[in-house]
Amino acid sequence: MDTTTLIESFAEFARGKNIDRPTMIRILEDVFRTMIRKRYGVDDNFDVIINADKGDLEIWRFREIVDDNSEDIWDHDKISLSEARKIEPDFEIGEEVAEEIKLEDFGRRAVMTARQTLIQKVKDLEKDILFHKYKDLVGEIITGEVYQILSREILLIDGEGNELILPRSEQISKDKFRKGDSVRAIIHRVEMVNGNPRIILSRTSPKFLERLFEMEVPEVYDGLITIRRTVREPGERAKVAVESYDDRIDPVGACVGMKGSRIHSVVRELQNENIDVINYTDNLELFVSRALSPAKISSIKADPDGGRISVFLKPDQVSLAIGRGGQNIKLASRLVGYEIDVFRETAGIEDEEDVDLEEFSDEIEGWIIDELKRIGLDTAKSVLSLSKEDLVRRTDLEEETIDDIFRVLKQEFE
């Protein structure tokens, strides 16, 4: 392979990978200087001149002429007078000899190795460029096309043919994709594995919900409305706390849109995820009250230092505050940053006849009482008012345990 063919084939390959000309020249020079060092030990007295557009390569070796008997004759940048005069008969001691080295002088094997090295360097550079490109886009939405569905992940390709990975753990449980589908997700993280960039996407991250709001709500995109906090149970329910610094803008109304027009497309993208948009406030008690919507709170007792907040509600509001499977209270706790304990208000004759669960601590284990309190049940009658099926669904208790609880509590009122 001659010089022109080698350089032209490399330049064409590099251009196809969108490698700019200065980088292309630098790679070529690095490879040729490596060849020089392998053959001559050093490369500091060599000049490498490359014209990638024409496929030209010139390698020049520079050495100073010394007397045949000089002690410096063996230095890499010195040449004896007799050797120099074989190149030009009128050379004298002290002059510099510029000798052109042909690529063919390195041997066929070295040239073929150089070709493979050039291609590998471009591939490595391409991976590095891809890694840094997506590293800067972490947290941004991207659309990819499904091209392969595996057991643990879905592989997509972007507009440039780069591979993107959407793991099962980052998919909404209701997501169902087929080959050729367009999928929106955020770039969750980018990592290098064995020299190859892995671009991991997510549809479950709270950031994905925030970016969707930016796309659908111009006021959020323009910064007139700020999303302060977002929590999600992907595909089921989410709570978003928003704030506006302009009194003329209703942040909740702007995010929801006329008749839900703006939030509808977000809900549809998230597989009908139920999204509560609430006004953010620095007033902790008011923020907790809003976070537990749609339940109506009677009173709140906050202990910020202990990281817990006690909320008191009328009996008919307790189930609303807790939500299906405890979703509402879990999300509200994460949104406000405190553990929320729900209690029924005790008032009236019927409640006076009720008995606190703590009174049964000698017959019911403490962790079971704590589990019942976690879902807002702190008296005997509040537990007995629910069916066994409800308690199984809301708590982590076994059916046999719940049967024992019912037996102990019923004895109290017999």
pLDDT for 349: 37
> Is residue 281 one of the residues assigned to a domain?
no
Q: Choose one of 180, 204, 228: the last residue of a domain.
A: 204
Q: Is pLDDT above 60 for 41? A: yes
Q: pLDDT over 70 for what percent of the chain?
A: 96
Q: Are residues 52 and 12 in the same domain?
A: yes
pLDDT tens, 324-354? Answer: 888 899 999 999 999 888 887 755 434 446 7
CATH classification at residue 29: 3.30.1480
Q: Is pLDDT above 60 for 155? A: yes
374 close to 345: Cβ distance less than 8 angstroms? no
Q: Are residues 32 and 67 in the same domain?
A: yes
pLDDT for 29: 87
pLDDT for 357: 86
CATH classification at residue 354: 1.10.150
> Is residue 90 one of the residues assigned to a domain?
yes
Q: Are residues 46 and 157 in the same domain?
A: no
pLDDT tens, 79-124? Answer: 999 988 988 888 898 999 998 888 878 888 887 888 888 888 888 8
CB atoms within 10 A of CB 268: 10
Instruction: Calculate the dihedral angle through the C-alpha atoms of 211, 215, 220, 221, rounding to the nearest 10 degrees.
Output: 100
> Is residue 339 one of the residues assigned to a domain?
no
> What is the extent of the structural domain holding 363?
348-413
Q: How confident is the model at residue 289 (pLDDT cuts 50, 70, 90)?
A: very high
Task: Give the amino acid at 55.
Answer: G
pLDDT for 346: 58
Beta strands in 334-395, from DSSP E residues, in sequence order: 339-344
Give the mean pLDDT of 300-314: 82
Give the integer Cα–Cα distance in Å for 367 and 144: 48
Give the mean pLDDT of 57-66: 89
pLDDT for 274: 92
Q: Is pLDDT above 70 for 383? A: yes
Q: Is pLDDT above 90 for 255? A: yes
**Phi, psi (degrees; rounded to nearest 5) at 254:** -65, -40
Considering 22-36, 47-61, 204-218, the range whose residues carry the highest mean pLDDT is 204-218
> Is residue 15 one of the residues assigned to a domain?
yes
Q: How many domains does the chain have?
A: 3
